[in-house]
């Protein structure tokens, strides 16, 4: 047995200091909680490793208010994992946030922990505290944490949230790795074409003028464009920014995005990639929400938040309505016509046997494997597709330059 000095909060406001006897720090915290006290500081008397050493650093940290920025996915995963680890060890929420605040290497996480701890000390629940930061924590994260608090399983819920974020991070990495290469190549081809028009085509103008022959239409258009860009070179960055802005508008405006999303589901192979990545997110969130004790209807609603493709999202939105009116999950999903048949069989089996969570997990693994196969296939298909596009660009530029020469030689013959 050992003696511990403690500082705790009574009813979230009054600070109480004292001494107690316990066999370990965890037991000391349990004793305080049974007395309706929230431990803030706790250390063994005579111990070399005390919280006081860390506390001495706190005033300096408090004086400098940290700016809270949006956490990236990796920082959000780290924050959730740390909170789960501390919760599993029996450390109180306030202490956990304090340790994160003073020991995290990320200034974003430190600033966030300061503000959440301040709210919790003021009597706010953890879920309500993180809800104050909607740019960092989405509705799914907040809803799962709130369900964990209400069911008394916050520790297990944080574990599920960390698992969900890890899976989403891996899925996002697959999507980025698949699309980054073709996007980069197309952008590079666009920039190279601008440079050729600006510097190469004007160099041929003198030679064409000496020929005295009428230039082909394609050569005239590209030559005029090149001369304009050479004389007004400052338009080049404006053109690049305009193209980027136009593409951003194209993919963000609801009308054009709806058209693009529906079109993407009609392209062979790519359709499977779009549909399966949407389903993967849907199944992951539905599984985690269902395990956290959230109702089936709310679980489906949470899951639908993650679906980005508008066409798939609208099809799955009808599932919520069908389930609300008493239709089974498997029948509702089948009516949506976006879920693969094998996945439907797994979900139907899970409903009938009462093992829906396990079947959702297996369905998720199946979809992940299918995504890997589609990614490999798309990687192989993108290369010849890009070669064709670049070949067309090179052929067009080459013909526009050499057609006048061919015409001249034919006239001489």
Give me the CATH number covering residue 12.
3.10.20
Out of 137, 161, 185, pick the residue that ends a domain.
137
What's the structural domain count of the chain?
A: 3
Average pLDDT estimate for 177-198: 86
Domain membership of residue 153 (yes or no) is no
Phi-psi region of 274 (alpha: psi -120 to 50; beta: other; left: phi over 0): alpha
Question: What number is the average pLDDT over the span 108-133?
Answer: 86
Cα dist from 9 to 36, 72, 81, 230, 232, whole Å:
9, 33, 26, 72, 69
**pLDDT band (50, 70, 90) for residue 47:** very low
For residue 174, give Cα distances in angstroms to 9, 171, 177: 47, 5, 5
In a domain, 197, yes or no: yes
- Residue 56: the pLDDT is 39
Q: Supply the range of the domain harboring residue 129.
A: 62-137
Do 128 and 219 lie in one domain? The reply is no
Whether residue 186 is found in the same domain as residue 329: yes
Where is the domain boundary, 39, 56, 73?
56
Q: Are 117 and 94 in contact (CB under 8 A)?
A: yes
User: Same domain, yes or no, for 14 and 86?
Assistant: no
Residue 186 makes CB contacts below 8 A (sequence gap 6+) with: 386, 389
Residues 215 and 127 in one domain: no
* Residue 23 and residue 80 share a domain: no
Given this model, what pLDDT does residue 157 score?
A: 85
- The answer on 223 and 333 residing in a single domain is yes
How confident is the model over 205-255, as pLDDT tens digits?
888 777 777 778 888 888 888 888 888 888 888 888 998 899 888 888 888
The verdict on 225 and 315 lying in the same domain is: yes
Q: How far apart are CA 378 and CA 400, in angstroms?
A: 33
Q: In this structure, are 312 and 327 located in the same domain?
A: yes
DSSP state of 216: P
CB-CB contact of 340 with 334 (8 Å) = no
| Domain end residue (candidates: 56, 76, 98) | 56
Q: Which candidate, 257, 244, 296, 12, places its Cα nearest to that of 126?
A: 12
Q: CB–CB of 45/93 below 8 Å?
A: no
The whole model's pTM is what?
Answer: 0.67
Tens of pLDDT, residues 357-413? 888 888 888 988 988 888 888 888 888 888 888 889 888 888 888 888 777 766 655
* CATH code of the domain covering residue 99: 1.20.81.30
Regarding whether 293 and 391 lie in a shared domain, the answer is: yes
Q: 38 and 120, same structural domain? A: no
Structural domain contains residue 273: yes
Mean pLDDT score of the chain: 81
Whether 331 maps to a domain, the answer reads: yes
What per-residue confidence (pLDDT) applies to 63? Answer: 41
Which residue in 179, 376, 379, 164 sits closest to 280, CA to CA?
Answer: 164
What pLDDT shows up at residue 62? Answer: 44
């Amino acid at each position: 047995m050992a003696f511990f000095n403690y500082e705790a909060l009574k009813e979230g406001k009054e600070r109480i200091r004292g001494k107690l006897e316990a066999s370990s720090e965890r037991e000391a915290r349990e004793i305080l909680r049974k007395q309706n006290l929230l431990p803030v500081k706790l250390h063994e008397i005579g111990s070399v490793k005390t919280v006081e050493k860390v506390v001495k650093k706190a005033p300096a940290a408090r004086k400098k208010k940290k700016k809270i920025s949006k956490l990236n996915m990796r920082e959000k995963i780290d924050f959730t994992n740390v909170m789960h680890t501390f919760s599993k060890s029996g450390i109180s929420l306030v202490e956990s946030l304090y340790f994160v605040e003073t020991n995290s290497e990320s200034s974003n996480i430190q600033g966030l922990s300061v503000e959440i701890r301040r709210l919790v000390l003021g009597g706010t629940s953890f879920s309500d505290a993180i809800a104050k930061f909607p740019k960092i924590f989405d509705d799914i994260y907040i809803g799962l944490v709130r369900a964990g608090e209400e069911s008394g399983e916050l520790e297990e819920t944080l574990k599920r949230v960390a698992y969900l974020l890890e899976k989403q991070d891996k899925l996002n990495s697959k999507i980025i790795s698949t699309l980054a290469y073709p996007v980069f190549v197309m952008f590079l081809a666009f920039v190279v074409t601008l440079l050729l028009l600006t510097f190469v085509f004007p160099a041929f103008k003198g030679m064409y003028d000496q020929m005295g022959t009428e230039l082909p239409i394609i050569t005239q258009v590209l030559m005029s464009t090149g001369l304009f860009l050479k004389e007004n070179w400052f338009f080049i960055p404006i053109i690049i920014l305009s193209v980027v802005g136009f593409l951003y508008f194209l993919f963000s405006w609801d009308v054009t995005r709806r058209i693009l999303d529906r079109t993407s589901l009609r392209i062979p192979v790519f359709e499977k990639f779009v549909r399966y990545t949407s389903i993967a997110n849907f199944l992951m969130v539905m599984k985690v929400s269902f395990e956290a004790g959230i109702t089936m209807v709310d679980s489906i609603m949470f899951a639908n938040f993650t679906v980005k493709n508008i066409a798939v999202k609208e099809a799955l939105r009808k599932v919520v309505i069908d389930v609300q009116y008493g239709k089974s999950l498997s029948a509702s999903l089948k009516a949506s016509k976006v879920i693969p048949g094998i996945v439907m069989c797994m979900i139907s089996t899970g409903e009938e046997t009462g093992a829906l969570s396990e079947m959702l997990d297996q369905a998720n693994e199946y979809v992940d494997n299918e995504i890997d196969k589609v990614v490999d296939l798309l990687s192989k298909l993108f290369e010849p597709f890009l070669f064709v596009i670049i070949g067309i660009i090179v052929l067009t530029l080459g013909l526009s330059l050499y057609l006048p020469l061919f015409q001249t030689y034919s006239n001489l013959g």
